[in-house]
Amino acid sequence: MKTTRNTAAKTAVLEIFGKSKTALSHTEIQKELNDLCDRVTTYRILDRLVNDDIVHKIVNLDGTVKYAKCHHHAQRVHIHNHAHFSCEKCLEVTCLENVKPSYILPHNYKVNDINFTLSGLCPKCFNSNI
Dihedral angle sign, alpha carbons of residues 113, 116, 117, 123: negative
Is 2 part of a structural domain of the chain? no
Which residues partner with 67 through β-bridges?
Answer: 24, 57
Residue 78 lies in a domain: yes
Alpha helices, DSSP H only, in the chain?
A: 8-19, 26-32, 39-51, 123-129
- Band the pLDDT of 99: cuts 50, 70, 90: confident
Residue with the bigger pLDDT between 89 and 111: it is 89
pTM: 0.74
Q: Name, in order, each residue with C-beta under 8 angstroms of 8's C-beta and a sequence gap of 6 or more.
A: 36
The domain containing residue 74 runs over which residues? 8-129
pLDDT digits (tens, 9 = 90+) for 26-58: 999 999 999 899 999 999 999 999 998 899 988
Q: How many domains does the chain have?
A: 1
CATH code for position 69: 1.10.10.10
pLDDT tens-digit series, residues 55-83? 998 888 788 899 999 876 555 555 566 78
Does residue 105 lie within any of the structural domains?
yes
Strands 116-120 and 83-87: parallel
